[in-house]
Structure 1
Amino acid sequence: MIDRQLLDLDALDHELTDTANVTPILQRALREADDTLSARFLDGEPAFKLVPLRAAVMDAVVTRAWAICLGEFADSACLAAVGGYGRGELHPGSDTDLMIIIPTPLPEALEARLSDLVTRLWDIGIEVGHSVRSVDDCVFQAKRDITVATNLMESRRLAGNASLFHAMEEATSPYQLWSGPDFFEAKWAEQQKRHERYHDTAYNLEPNLKESPGGLRDIHMIGWVAKRHFNAGALSDLVDLGFLSESEYEELIQGQHFLWDIRFALHGLAGRREDRLLFDYQADLARQFGYKDTEHTLAVEQFMQRYYRMIKRLSRLNEMLLQLYQETILYTELDEKPQLLNKRFQIKRGFIEVTHRNVFQRYPFAMLELFLLMQQHPEIRGIRAATIRLLREHRGLINNAFRRDLRARSLFMEIFRQPAGITHALRRMHSHGILGRYIPAFAAITGRMQYDLFHVYTVDTHTLMVVSNLRRLSVPEHRDEFPLLSEIHSRLPKPELLYLAALFHDIAKGRGGDHSELGAEDAYAFCLQHGLSRYDCRFVAWLVRKHLLMSMTAQRRDISDPGVINEFAGEVGDRKHLDYLYLLTVADIRATDAKLWNNWRKSLLQELYRRTTQALRRGLGQPIDQDELVAEAQHRARELLRHKGLHHMTVRSIWRHFTPDYFLRYTAAEVAWHTEAIHAAGDAAHAPLVLVEPEAARGGIEVFIYTRDRGNIFALAVSALDQLSLDILDARIITTDNGYTLDSFLVHPPAGGDDPADSAATIRETLLAYLEDPQTLPEPATGTTPRRLRHFNTMTQVDFSDDTRNERTAMELIAGDQPGLLAQVSYTLARYGVRVQNAKIATLGERAEDVFFITDDANGPLDSATRQRLRSELLSAFDDDSDIMRRGDGV
């Protein structure tokens, strides 16, 4: 029954006697009803009450349009609601899915009336999704497409010929096509494909609350199978059928209502159908649902954590129910004798189950033993649904007493020491709510997101991906992916220590303070409680405390500087610490965002590992000597050039003005490449020399410039590369003793851009055009900020420090990423006569974190006045007045 305040049907029918104004009358009635529903929602009325009301309003509008448009033909065809509308569910922006069942043959006059109906509905403002089918068409399409069969199964007659509707129902029933077992298998396969399409995780930055795992589609899936095979009219019937307990049903309905509330609000904010929780709406949704920023957690993070936790619970229910369906629908005829594993567990039909219902009550530690047995018996396909339910019912027994139980502690550590199945065991434990119970700190990070573009996954998902990445290194079949890392992993004395460090490395995120320090304390206490030696406890804690050290050193410091290598080697201390840290670092970066891992980062970390290994081999008391490194680099480069036919005196003549910095920062192969090109070019004073290597060893496109030094060469080059939409990953600038500059840039083309080999000529021509007139420095171009970046506000920071060893200044810039940022920085530096000697460029999601090693025009450190002017100008260029201050938690 429709509330008269929402839609007065008597008054509406009276108005519709004015047949000349049918469209505006229905249009106004629908608009006013939608406005009333939106107002009631904003006043606190839940969506589960409003969604059926909107469907009822739509019924009233559509059926009246049907009667008016079809007139005397109203009973010649049938109008049915399908899809969500067929279920009686209609959100503000949802399509109104209709099916018109027609007789055969179709009279021309009826066809014209139906065309008028569809046009009229669009004119009213209804987003119509419609199909026109005969009963035979329905059968043909349903037989070919399980989605069509599902829509027909959910259809609801609105108006017109009831016989046609019943004929369609009969012709597409389970007795005619898509029997219960066939329907179940097809829908399960469909769900698996859908989950894969959404990366098999609901934890992406902008999840789809309908299609992602744990979303509304998973709830629909439960209902579809229940209706098709068990003739259930509603989800509540699953309680009577024994598939759901009362508490599980309540959990399922609460989850659906929560997702409906979000979807209703999302459609209102977007003004259209929108099922993706885009950054455009997340903060507004958080405010609308009453969340407020706290000292350590933003309102949007709290809101999204609630969302992620809810869909995790729904995913668990979906998995359990589908397995119950599978056992009932597909395996009910099978009578297989169980295979006994021990007195608590057995295998039946490939699934592990308890031997009796009281196992977890009498032996709580068996809740961990279950996962260990699955590791030891890889032939086990999963956990029986009844045992999953018992796990859910008894996991409350995992308390402090359980955690102190030596049997539980031994079982947990045994899981980590197994040769295979660790990742699967942890994921299953997490999926069924056991891991968070056993480690309460892990429960705190479950579903926790960080409102940025850098951390693509929630902290719990990321953590388990780190463990997975590490475990993959131990699998012989995957050895070719990362040969060096796999070789290092193979010689680890205790790989379980590495996995424990991975499990705890981010466990303290969101508490405030340094998550590395807090996590190290947690890790040490946990390891001590689980019987590890104090040395191993300290070692795991060290890995957690230092898990960002290697990535920060490689990406933010000049690792060509022997002093930096010696300092890092001193922090690491020995080869064992270096090996474990190297593996953890790579696994961490790869699990943060797949796009972060590229040949550039790989080469950086590999170079840092190689140089640190050399330093440790020499001994910390004998630090690497710069002159020794320069001599070694020159010797290797000479050998390469000798094979290319260059006389040693020719090489010496070219090198005589090169500083030691040059030979420290470039590999022997790069030095040989530059030297050969400079020799071939002859007198470079007349024109700049530009080299482009499309497939550089460091990953990306290597660009090398050799020309007369000018104060703005760096700014010109950056502007040219920015003009080509190339992302600069690294910049190295060397000034020779005779007034030349050797500048190198490692760049990446934009996604979907030209083939690097094809773009090499364009890069060279553009750079030469910019360098032709080095006195003219064009204003940096500005572009449109991409949608995703617009929703983040990063406080700009500019900090200076003294690099006394190299007689230069280090300037660190943190700012919101934006088009032309690096060009703007280089332009500003050039105007102040500042020379860039080296640059480390890093874009981490929405944040640009760049480090510039700079000098004044006399190649000395910057004075305090210049620093202050630079800081003021850069802050004014990039800062904004946002009240959202982001935190930098690193990887």
Structure 2
Amino acid sequence: MTSEPSAAPASRRRVTPPRFDRAWLEELLGEREPLPQHLRAAHKHASTRLREMAAAGLSASHLVAARSRMMDTLLRALWRRHLGGTRGLVLIAVGGYGRGELHPWSDIDLMVLINGALPAQRRTALQQFLTELWDIGPDVGHSVRTLEECRETARQDITIATNLIEARRLVGAKKPFEALRQLTFSDELWTSRSFFERKLEEQRDRHHKFHDTAYKLEPNVKESPGGLRDIQMIGWVAKRHFGARTLSDLASYGFLSRDEHRKLVEGQSFLWRVRWLLHESAGRKEDRLLFDYQLKLAKRLGYEDQEHSLAVEQFMQRYYRTVMELNRLNEMLLQLFKEAILLEGEPRLEPINEHFQLKNGYLDVVDRDVFRRDPSALLELFHVLQQQPEAEGVSAGTIRLIRQHRRLINERFRRDPKNKALFMAILREPQGVTHEFRRMNSYGVLGRYIPEFGHIVGRMQYDLFHTYTVDEHTLFVLSNLRRFALSRFDHEYPECSRIMQALPKPELAYLAGLFHDIAKGRGGDHSELGADDALRFCRRHGLSNYDSRLVAWLVRQHLLLSLTAQKKDISDPRVIHDFAEKVGDQLHLDYLYVLTVADVRATNPELWNSWKGSLFQELYNNTSRALRRGLINPVARDEMIAETQRESLERLAKRRVAAEHVRDIWKALPGDYFLRHSPSEIEWHTEALMAHANPNTPLVQVRRANERGGTAVFVCSPRDDLAFARSTAALEQLGLTVLDARIVSTRDERTLYTWVVLEADGEEIDDPRRSDEIFRIMREEAGRLGGEPRAIRRRMPRQHRSFSTPTRIHFDDDERNGRTILEISTGDRPGLLTRIAGALRETRIRLQTAKVATVGEKAEDIFFITETDDSPLNSEERRQALADALLRRLDDDN
């Protein structure tokens, strides 16, 4: 069963809603005339009173209504002062103000309805009214129109027509207002049908802007799917077509059940509360639930940190589950409206089986008792949809029945062999897997059938790395795996597609994807707990012991490949051999590879890049070769060096480079150089070094479209302890993201640096002018032998400032290669690598190579280091000295 996060504790003290009426204003003003300064003071006083009542626990519905009434009172007083004796004019509230819903910084949308041209005196009075209204305090949007102008503008602009539907008379003549209302709801402007179609198109476009998901790290409370705008959409259609005044009217018309109305009102009230507090926290109109405010709102709503769940995560889970429920209701109601407004005559019925039929193109039950008679139909529905690709979706009536009967999915239901077979059939169907699993989650069926999945619905992790909630991320993993399996997407990731399409049982990869993060938020190792869940599920669903263990192994090891590629030196044959031993065979490697790529791409699409893809591909290829060779016959270091040199020589020979000249250059290079670089890179470096006439001056080369992804920057300079810090500072000041740094000290007292960089947004550098800029700056830096690094003046991104990441430093031994491994986890910020370089220089530590990874707001960097004589840091005192230097530099402002 889907577990609901507990609602935040609310004040138990009964709070009396404030009254804002003419008597209140007169009492507040005393004997004074309602001049702007007096009304401004009244507005400030009332706003303060509302903030106090919000803090005391006054409901959001009372707050938004009270603020609206307060503005009514102020506006009427000001209107009567300037235009009280004027006939034929009407002051009208439109938009949200017309609905009587105002938040602390909501716009005050007004329209003045006039009867023809205004005499000069009235025009002056109206201008004074509007000018003084601005002086009171709130942001005001206004228009002055005749009835004919309303007709013309509303015909052309659906937004104006929508605002008129919300029109509410504040003060002034009644007859012109009634004429406006009659016009607004006539077919003269928009027919009910055309209005509905246009608003439906508007909603689709709006949802697309948010990638059709409310599960973003910083959602928009108003505009995101499931947000307040979706509730308003229901209200607009209900008012235009059915003449409804409130959401409760829809219940009396039979479009909403009592339970659905309750959930709609509760969801709206919660979002109102969030938006009210959001405006207060921001001190301005702000509808984005930014990281800056999530912590504050969680605290104000009464959430507290728990052992396995932060207060902010509990708050955001409630938010996501609320908008998910509102999204479901929006879909169902708009489908009902579509059937009532757009479909005419007798419905078109096409029978499918004893349970289902197509009704006007939508899957529908044959009668209302289908799920009660045979609960298995709750799963069968999704399998039928896979086999009916022409179906436009599920009818609103059937969606409602699913919601009413999903409680039937209990332990008895899960044990039923028929239902187990149906679930596996959905997973194995050649089409529609992703669509139907998304639909199963949306309708609340997936979380009922797999209770563990229900716990992660709407669950977020408070960081910048995990862009989506756990359930949304999981469904994106499933989607990515499906794209690998379908040949029409072969062009996206050819190698993943080749491997996925050759897997004997692709459904095992889907199951691993479904369970890989299912234990998030329970405490303990989510990989181990999830593996246990997966093993039980697979065995219960009739999978063989081998297949069940394979799925469980994938869940347990789903981070293995990415961590190895990003945190270990995969140029080291022993690293490859150790990884191959853990994988065991090619089949496990194939499954793990496609799952890893699908997982990383679904975690944060903006952090996926060609460099990361090349790392994973390189690890996969080298491991495949190790497995073919046999684990009892690992590749020796010298053998790999010789193989790389042989291939490099062959490449250079094709370019008519003499082997003896090559070997002269290579004499100065240590064996490790040939492990850390590919033959293509060695070819590039060798030609550059041969063409460089003076070995005592720096050499700089920039190569775009590097084979490993990203842009490669190659620097060769006389040995200089400050060179790494200077180069790092220059790259960071250029706004580049450093992905990899490989440093090789030559036997003739030079140092070779090879950097791989991308733009800060993760994009490739494809502008020749940008490459020229990098070349120019790096050549300047390389020429400043012994010079200090330049200062970093870039600002920290806004989102990063919301997090405080403690610095953690860990040392490990790389005995096989005579190095020490330094692992640093800290908050990412401009100049980070330069600070680390400064600490290495301060403690006279030599950097051999680095693997740089940014995980959202966190930097997780690996450095392979030695003493200046190339020996490892075996002394605890030396390690502590380096750690102290790093902490001093990194924790200054973190």
TM-score where L is the length of structure 2: 0.96
Counterpart pick for 2:829 among 796, 799, 818? 818
Give the structure 2 partner of residue 319 of structure 1: 331
Query: Over residues 187-210 of structure 1, what are the superposed CA-to-partner deviations in whole Å (9 max), with x where a residue is unaligned?
Result: 111111110011110010000011
| 1:873 matched to 2:885 | yes
Indicate the residue corresponding to 2:69 in structure 1. 56
Alpha carbons of structure 1 residues 692 and 390: separation in structure 2 relative to 1, 3 Å: same
Change (3 A) 1:369 1:835: same
User: How many Å separate the matches in 1 of 2:136 and 2:667?
Assistant: 82
> Residue 670 of structure 1 is aligned with which of 681, 691, 712?
681
1:243 is aligned with what amino acid? Answer: F
Corresponding residue number in structure 1 for 2:92: 80
**Kindly tell me: are residues 724 and 798 of structure 1, through their superposed partners in 2, closer, same or farther at Cα, counting changes over 3 Å?**
same
Distance in 2 (CA, whole Å) between partners of 1:317 and 1:736 is: 68
Q: Residue type of the partner of 1:172?
A: T
Q: Does 1:465 align with 2:476?
A: yes
Among residues 411, 416, 423, which one is paired with 1:412 in the alignment?
423
Distance change (3 Å), C-alpha of 1:425 and 1:15: closer
For the 8 Å contact 1:498–1:584, the answer to whether it is kept is yes
The residue aligned with 2:53 is: 40
1:652 aligns with 2:654: no
State the alpha-carbon separation in 1 of the partners of residues 429 and 34 from structure 2.
Answer: 76
C-alpha displacement at 1:641, in angstroms? 1.5
* Greater mean alpha carbon deviation, residues 748-757 or residues 157-166: 748-757
Q: 1:14 to 1:280 in 2, by over 3 A?
A: closer
217-226 or 105-114, larger mean C-alpha shift = 105-114
C-alpha separation between the residues in 2 aligned to 1:802 and 1:115?
78
Task: Select between 109-118 and 701-710 the one with higher mean Cα deviation.
Answer: 109-118
> Structure 1: 5+ residue runs without aligned partners?
883-891
Q: Deviations over 1:656-700 (max 9, x none)?
A: 111121111111111111111111112221x10000113322222
| Residue 843 (1) aligns with residue 851 (2) | no
Q: 1:32 to 1:846 in 2, by over 3 A?
A: same
TM alignment of 1:436-475, pairs within 5 A:
436-475=447-486
**SS of corresponding position for 1:236:** helix
Counterpart of 1:709 in structure 2 is 719
Instruction: After TM superposition, give the deviation of residue 786 of structure 1 in Å.
Output: 1.9
The separation in 2 between residues aligned to 1:715 and 1:402, in whole angstroms, is 63
Task: Tell me how far 1:772 sits from its aligned partner.
Answer: 2.4
Q: Greater CA deviation, 478-487 or 538-547? A: 478-487
Hey, what does 2:817 align to over in structure 1? 806
Q: Is 1:476 paired with 2:487? A: yes
Query: Within 5 Å, which residues of 2 pair with 1:250-261?
Result: 250-261=262-273
CA distance, structure 1, for counterparts of residue 177 and residue 70 of structure 2: 22
Report how far residue 258 of structure 1 moved: 0.8
Cα distance in 2 for partners of 1:4, 1:474 equals: 59
Deviations 1:784-843 (A, max 9, x none): 322111111111100000111110110000001111111100111111111111101011
Q: Structure 1 counterpart of 2:712, which letter?
A: E
Amino acid at match of 1:714: F
Of 837, 840, 843, which aligns to 1:829?
840
C-alpha contact 2:460 2:469 (8 A) present in aligned 1: yes
- Residues of 1 paired with 2:773 and 2:183: CA distance? 64
* 2:598 is aligned with 1:552: no
Q: What is the correspondence of 1:599-678 to structure 2 with a 5 Å cutoff?
A: 599-678=610-689
- Which amino acid counterpart does residue 715 of structure 1 have in structure 2? A
1:577 is the counterpart of 2:579: no
> Could you report, residue by residue, the CA deviation over 1:433-468 in whole angstroms, capped at 9, with x for unpaired residues?
000000000000000000000000000000000000
Measured in 2, the distance between the counterparts of 1:35 and 1:136 equals: 41
Q: Is the 8 A contact 1:63 1:158 kept in 2?
A: yes
Structure 1 distance, partners of 2:428, 2:20, is 66
Report the CA distance between 1:381 and its aligned residue: 1.2
Residues 123-134 of structure 1 mapped to structure 2, 5 A cutoff: 123-134=135-146
Quote how far apart the aligned CAs of 1:236 are. 0.5
1:119-177 CA-to-partner distances (Å, cap 9, x unmatched) read 11111112101122221221111111111110011111111232322222223323312
Give the Cα–Cα distance (whole angstroms) in 2 for the partners of residues 754 and 469 of structure 1.
26
- Alignment partner of 1:526 out of 537, 556, 568: 537
* Number of the residue aligned with 1:24: 37
* Aligned equivalent of 2:281, options 244, 247, 269: 269
User: What corresponds to 2:231 in structure 1?
Assistant: 219
Q: Partner letter of residue 746 of structure 2?
A: T
Cα separation, 1, equivalents of 2:865 and 2:796: 28
| 2:553 is aligned with 1:542 | yes
2:746 aligned residue (736, 740, 763): 736
The answer to whether residue 164 in structure 2 is matched with residue 152 in structure 1 is: yes
Secondary structure of the equivalent of 2:669?
Answer: coil
Letter in 2 for 1:145: D
| 2:247 aligned residue | 235
Given candidates 194, 197, 216, the residue that maps to 1:185 is: 197
What does residue 599 of structure 2 align with?
A: 588
Pair 1:489-2:500 in alignment: yes
Within the alignment, does 1:366 sit opposite 2:377 as a pair? yes
Retained in 2: the 8 A contact 1:780–1:823? Answer: no
Given candidates 73, 77, 83, the residue that maps to 1:70 is: 83
Deviation at 1:118, TM superposition (A): 1.8
With 302-311 and 109-118 compared, the bigger mean Cα shift is at 109-118
Give the superposition deviation at 1:762. Answer: 2.1
The residue type equivalent to 1:495 in the other structure is P
Q: Does 1:390 align with 2:401?
A: yes
The one-letter code sitting in structure 2 at the alignment partner of 1:83 is: G
What per-residue deviation string (whole Å, max 9, x for no partner) do you get for residues 43-90 of structure 1?
111111121111011001011112223354x33422100001000111
Q: SS at 1:828's partner residue? A: helix
C-alpha distance in structure 2 between counterparts of 1:151 and 1:335, whole Å: 34
- Aligned partner of 2:306: which letter? T
Query: Unmatched 5+ residue regions in structure 2?
Result: 1-14
Indicate the larger mover: 771-780 or 549-558: 771-780
Deviates more, 1:159-168 or 1:570-579: 159-168
8 Å contact 1:694–1:760 — kept in the other structure?
A: yes
More deviation in 503-512 or 590-599?
590-599
Q: Deviations over 1:626-649 (max 9, x none)?
A: 222222221222122222221111
Give 1:737 deviation, angstroms: 1.7
In structure 2, the residue matched to 1:758 is 769
Give the one of 769, 789, 795 matched to 2:800: 789
Contact 2:712 2:755 in 1 (8 A): yes
Classify the secondary structure of the residue corresponding to 1:238.
Answer: helix
The 5 A counterparts of 1:260-339 are 260-336=272-348, 338-339=349-350
Check whether the contact 1:779–1:827 (CA below 8 A) recurs between aligned residues: no
Structure 2 equivalent of residue 341 of structure 1: 352
SS of the equivalent of 1:493 reads coil
SS at match of 1:811: strand
The equivalent residue for 2:9 is none
From 699, 702, 719, the equivalent of 1:692 is 702
Residue-by-residue CA offset, 1:16-45 (whole Å, 9 max, x unaligned): 697777011101111111111110110111
Greater Cα offset, 448-457 or 862-871? 862-871
Which string of whole-angstrom CA distances, capped at 9 and with x for unpartnered residues, describes residues 237-284 of structure 1? Answer: 111111111111111101111111111111111112111111111011
Q: CA RMSD in A?
A: 1.8
**Per-residue Cα deviation, 1:836-879 (whole angstroms, up to 9, x for no partner):** 11101011100000000011111111122121011122223334
Measured in 2, the distance between the counterparts of 1:161 and 1:119 equals 22
| 1:567 shift after superposition | 0.7
State the AA in 2 paired with 1:522: D
Q: Is the 8 A contact 1:7 1:29 kept in 2?
A: no
Which AA in structure 1 matches 2:548?
C
Deviates more, 1:582-591 or 1:138-147: 138-147
CA contact 1:519–1:544 (8 Å) conserved in 2: yes
- Which residue type is aligned with residue 467 of structure 2? V
For 1:159, what is the secondary structure of its paired residue?
strand
Shift of 1:780: 4.7
